[in-house]
Each structure stands twice: as C-alpha cells, then as structure tokens.
C-alpha cells in the first residue's frame, strides 16, 4: 500500500485538476498589491484568505525575502520566409552570439533557412541548426544591433492561456517593479504583486530583502509530457547570486531565521547553490534542478508563489514543499473562493 502511495506521487495524472476558464486572469490586479493572497500552513494544511498587502503580517523582523530581479525581454518576434509565409519566433536564451529559440510553424524551417523582418531590409535571421526539443532552432541575427532591435520590434511573450494579444501596458505590468537584468522570456510571476510602497514597508519592519537572478526560460514553462514525472528532463536556465546576497542568506541560516523564496525560480536557484557543509555559494551558473515530492528542502523555509498550471513542474515543486494533498486541497479552496489563476492571477504564501 505504501509503495502504491509513493508511486502515485510520480504519476503525472495526479497533478491535474480543473480550473474554470473564468478564473484564468487576463489582466493583473490594479494596484499590484491589491491582488488576493491565500496563506497555506504547510504543517497543518490550514488556509487563510487575505489581501496581498497582508503578507507583511506573516514575516518577522530578520526574516529574509529573496526576489528574482531578472527582466522579461520582448521575446516574441514576427518574421517571414522568402515565400511570404509568416513565422513566429520565441527567443529562449542566448548561446554565445546565437540564440536558442522556438519556431512556429517549424516543420519546414531547416538549417540554412533565412527569415526576414518585413519592416527592416537590413536585419534578418539565419537558422543554423535544429535543437532537441519540438520546434527548437539555433538562430543567428544578421545585421544591426540585435539587442536594440529586439527591444524595438519584439512583443512581450504573454503565455497562451491569456487569450488576447500583448498590449502596450503589458510592457510594464508583465514585469516586476524590481526587474533589472534582461534575460527572461516569461515573468517570475510571484514578484508581480509587489509595489515599491510594500517593499519599503517591509524594509522598515526589519525584513531583509535580497535579490538573485534566474532567467526564466523553457525549463520553467515547458510542460511535463511523460507519464512518470521522474522521466521529465528540465531545460537549463542561467542564474547569478552575488556575494552580498550569499552572505546575508548564510547569516540568516546560521541564526535560524526564515528564508522566503519569492517564486519557484528563486526556490530552485537557492536549492541549487546551497550546500549543507558550505552554505550558500555566490557565483554564476545554470540549473536544471527538477524538484518533485520526495525532495528534502535545505535552503528555504517558505515560498510565495502564484497558482500554477495543472501537470506543470511548478505544481510539482510546491507539492514537494507542502505535500501534494495539501496543495490540491488549497487549490480546490482557491477555485471555490474564486481566486484568479496563473501569471496575472493571485498569490499563495506557503510557510
């Protein structure tokens, strides 16, 4: 019986649930910190309905809040083939002077294909190779300042469950107020709820606020398409932890203070760079860490997170942290009380 129960933890079907379409947020709350907050006690499974601004009441002076200051780039590009056929490119991450990207439709986009920008006769794209992922291509920009051009013509990469085209306002709202380093192709959404005023009030209370960088890429949003979740392979994502942040985290850990990860991206990064013998190590690297039930968290004491897609690596991570049954019951509660789901939706604090 125990073996069957444990086996159930690895069955992808056991991470699926129903979310009514009306609860999938199409726009963010205004102001940011007016979104709702579901508090989940990971020990008991008890839940509380709050407003996001009340998160400050769950943190004590000396607790450390860890933010991801990666900035979303306008990673969605519209190009054409020489035949005039329209192609969509989603940039994933740079690889030297080139980019890993997803191309749609990709069937006839082979190595050697040239793609063009209708409004620019100078800039074009060369497809160099096919990657080991559906629709994946290695591409190179030819002509002009690439970063500048992406900022000018690229569109914010809203996820497909937001059933509208990206608007000018999304350039601000699909970005945290503390975003600093370009590199993400999806927002670290747990951080979207913070306003400058709320962060100031937290600092005044004595809550330590530190920042790391993890550039959100395919590893975060790629769906799990295997029956046994242990067979899923994460795509690597780049991170950076500076010396000051590592020192503060090590001091917090030694003093027994809580470390709260703002988002699954922060949780994965901190669990990657923490070693029980040496503490938190500063530096740059990449992680393909896939956290599922059975994992023992060593670096963090709490997670602030949004409500995640069924069957995603993200729902598996929070299930590893609080327990699958507690998470699914909390999600049922959220549906019953009509919380807003996914990127522009409400938040959950698990401590």
Residue-wise pLDDT tens digits, 188-200 = 999 999 999 999 9
3-state secondary structure of 84: coil
CA angle 33, 34, 40 (to 5 degrees): 80
CA–CA gap between residue 280 and residue 259 (Å, rounded): 12
Residue range 174-195: average pLDDT?
Answer: 97
User: Mean pLDDT score of the chain, rounded to an integer?
Assistant: 95
158 is a domain residue: no
Residue range 116-145: average pLDDT?
Answer: 91
Residue-wise pLDDT tens digits, 90-112 = 999 999 899 999 999 999 999 99
pLDDT beyond 80 at 121: no
Strands ordered across the beta sheet of 64-68: 47-51, 36-40, 347-350, 302-306, 259-262, 64-68, 208-214, 237-241, 283-287
Per the structure, the complete domain to which residue 6 belongs is given by 2-72+171-350
Domain with residue 139: its CATH number is: 2.40.10.240
Domain with residue 229: its CATH number is: 3.40.1780.10
pLDDT higher at 252 or 217: 252
Statement to judge: residues 248 and 271 lie in one domain? yes
Residue-wise pLDDT tens digits, 243-257 = 999 999 999 999 999
Number of domains in the chain: 2
Residue-wise pLDDT tens digits, 7-23 = 689 999 999 999 999 99
Residue-wise pLDDT tens digits, 286-299 = 999 999 999 999 99
Statement to judge: residues 92 and 40 lie in one domain? no
- Note the pLDDT of residue 326: 98
3-state secondary structure of 77: strand
162 is a domain residue: no
- The last residue of one of the domains, among 92, 127, 153, is 153
DSSP state of 22: G
**Residue partners of 264: CB distance under 8 A and separation at least 6:** 190, 220, 303, 305, 308, 314, 317, 318
């Amino acid at each position: 019986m125990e073996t069957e129960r444990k086996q159930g933890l690895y069955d992808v079907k056991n991470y699926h649930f129903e979310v009514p379409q009306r609860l999938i947020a199409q726009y963010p709350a205004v102001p940011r910190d007016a979104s709702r907050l579901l508090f989940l006690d990971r020990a008991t499974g008890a839940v509380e309905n709050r407003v996001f601004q009340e998160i400050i009441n769950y943190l004590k002076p000396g607790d450390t809040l860890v933010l991801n200051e990666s900035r979303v780039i306008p990673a969605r590009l519209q190009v054409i083939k020489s035949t005039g056929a329209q192609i969509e490119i989603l940039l994933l991450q740079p690889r030297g002077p080139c980019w890993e990207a997803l191309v749609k439709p990709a069937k006839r986009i082979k190595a050697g294909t040239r793609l063009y920008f209708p409004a620019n006769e100078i800039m074009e794209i060369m497809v160099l190779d096919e990657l080991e992922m559906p629709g994946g291509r290695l591409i190179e920009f030819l002509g002009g300042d690439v970063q500048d051009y992406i900022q000018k013509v690229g569109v914010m990469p809203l996820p497909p469950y937001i059933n509208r085209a990206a608007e000018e306002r999304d350039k601000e709202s699909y970005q945290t107020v503390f975003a600093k380093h370009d590199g993400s192709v999806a927002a670290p959404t747990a951080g979207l709820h913070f306003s400058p005023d709320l962060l100031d009030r937290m600092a005044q209370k004595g809550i330590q606020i530190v920042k790391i960088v993890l550039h959100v890429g395919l590893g975060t949003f790629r769906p799990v398409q295997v029956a046994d979740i242990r067979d899923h392979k994460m795509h690597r994502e780049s991170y950076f932890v500076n010396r000051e942040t590592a020192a503060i985290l090590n001091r917090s850990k030694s003093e027994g203070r809580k470390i709260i990860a703002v988002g699954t991206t922060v949780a994965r990064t901190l669990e990657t760079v923490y070693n029980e013998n040496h503490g938190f190590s500063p530096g740059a690297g990449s992680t393909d860490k896939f956290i599922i039930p059975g994992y023992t968290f060593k670096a963090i004491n709490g997670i602030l997170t949004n409500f995640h897609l069924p069957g995603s690596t993200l729902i598996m991570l929070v299930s590893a942290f609080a327990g699958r049954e507690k998470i699914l019951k909390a999600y049922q509660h959220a549906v019953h009380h009509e919380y807003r789901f996914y990127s522009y939706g409400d938040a959950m604090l698990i401590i």
